[in-house]
Amino acid sequence: MAKEKFLIAPHFRLHEWVAEEKGYFAAEGLDYEFRDYVSARDQAKKHHLGDKVGAYQTFEQGRTCDVSGACHWTVNVAASTGKGKLYRDAYSVAPAAVFVPPESDIREPTQLAGVPISVGYQSGSHYSTIQALEQYMPLDDIKLTFSEGMLFSRMEDLIDRKVPAAALFSGPYYFLEQLGFRKVIDATFMMATMITGDPDPEDVRKYYRALRKAQRDIDLRPELYTHYYRNEFPARFQEQMDPRRWGPGERIVFEPYTREVFEESFEWIAARRIFPEGQMGAGNYEQATVSYA
């Protein structure tokens, strides 16, 4: 029986596209295929996963790839409830921020108190917006609203002035800066990899060896690769985009996602009641994570 292809879901970052362009996957002998699970077409929106749709709901539905990414908070909980394994040999960090239209009167973080901020439900923007703003105001003053789709849906809603503020990261972050939208508060958030099913550990190692090479290339000459943001952006915005002006976005950190980080993050989520009581799983690091080092 022929070995199945290693299925990869790109996640709004440059690395997979660079590794493919440079032949790093092929050089590692990785027989792979890109599985476009969450893309510009906002598939979660098409599938009508419920009134509140976010990264966690895509894990609930079941991701059809061997490796995929999401914010570490969501992967932490999804892995704790048996929806895959958090890969603990690396993590990444993405630039994020809360934006308002250029004509908005909001200029300071304190002015966001009580203002509806569009985020992805139980997605990176949900957690990172709370993390950024709780320095300035009580939790009850942080008013979040949840878009029907995911990243590009709330970007479009802000551009179309359907929402007064939105939290965005990576490509959409740079695009809104290009269009002159005002960044009220910066944030960053960690992302983690979810291992789904039972892929060959050596394939995972090959995948990450290729990404390490891609990270080096992006660090050295990001301007050669920012055009790859186009691969996952809605067609509506292609002519407006000038990714030559954009930054490198998400950066992979080849260091362990430790037990301490896992447990502190799990406790942070629980304390803010982002998930209903009893729906976060056991939060057991050994059971929820996997290492191929």
CA distance 254 to 293: 11
pLDDT of residue 35: 79
pLDDT of residue 28: 97
What ranges do the domains of the chain cover? Answer: 6-93+190-273, 95-188
| CATH number listed for the domain at residues 6-93+190-273 | 3.40.190.10
CA-CA-CA-CA torsion sign (199, 203, 205, 207): negative
Fold of 95-188: D-Maltodextrin-Binding Protein; domain 2 (3.40.190)
Q: Report pLDDT digits (tens) over 129-172.
A: 999 999 999 999 999 999 777 789 999 999 999 999 999 999 99
Q: Report pLDDT digits (tens) over 195-216.
A: 988 899 999 999 999 999 999 9
Rg, Å, the chain Cα set: 18
| In the predicted structure, residue 254 carries a pLDDT above the cut 50 | yes
What average pLDDT does this structure show over 252-279?
Answer: 95
Q: For residue 131, what are the contacts with CB-CB under 8 A and spacing of at least 6?
A: 187, 189
Average pLDDT score, the chain: 90
Considering only 6-10, 24-28, 90-94, 283-287, which range has the smallest mean pLDDT?
A: 6-10
Is-same-fold flag (6-93+190-273; 95-188)? Answer: yes
pLDDT of residue 43: 43
CA distance 276 to 278: 6
